[in-house]
């Protein structure tokens, strides 16, 4: 079993910044990819940013240049630094991980999410 817990969401004015964190715990031997997704009302869930085990990052076009994803390997956490926020960034942000545990287990857990609301 692996659990992901997000934190850092809240209400912010347009142009402001927020920093989201996601901490993984449980049966973790190695984490491959960690990623942030978001889902707004009446929209499908979309990939925001991801970071692989070698540090390679990917971003959606809509956040490129404004968001930065980073990783703390020692503490099994991933962070999303969000700057120049826009109202269209308003969504529930959820953390995902691809995890290899002990005894041959693999996990693909999701966090419950943290709400980000950007006021115009």
Q: Check residue 39 and give its pLDDT.
A: 98
The 10s digit of each residue's pLDDT in 59-109 is 999 999 999 999 999 999 999 999 999 999 999 999 999 999 999 999 999
Given a contact cutoff of 8 angstroms between Cβ atoms, the answer to whether 6 and 29 are in contact is: no
pLDDT digits (tens, 9 = 90+) for 11-49: 999 999 999 999 999 999 999 999 999 999 999 999 999
């Amino acid at each position: 079993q692996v659990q992901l817990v997000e934190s850092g969401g809240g209400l912010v004015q347009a142009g402001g910044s927020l920093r989201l964190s996601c901490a993984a715990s449980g049966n973790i031997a190695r984490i491959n990819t960690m990623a942030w997704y978001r889902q707004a009302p009446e929209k499908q869930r979309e990939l925001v940013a991801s970071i692989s085990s070698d540090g390679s990052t990917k971003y959606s076009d809509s956040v490129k240049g404004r968001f930065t994803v980073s990783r703390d390997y020692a503490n099994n956490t991933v962070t999303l630094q969000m700057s120049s926020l826009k109202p269209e960034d308003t969504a529930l942000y959820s953390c995902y991980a691809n995890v290899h545990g002990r005894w041959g287990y693999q996990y693909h857990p999701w966090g419950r999410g943290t709400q980000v609301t950007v006021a115009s």
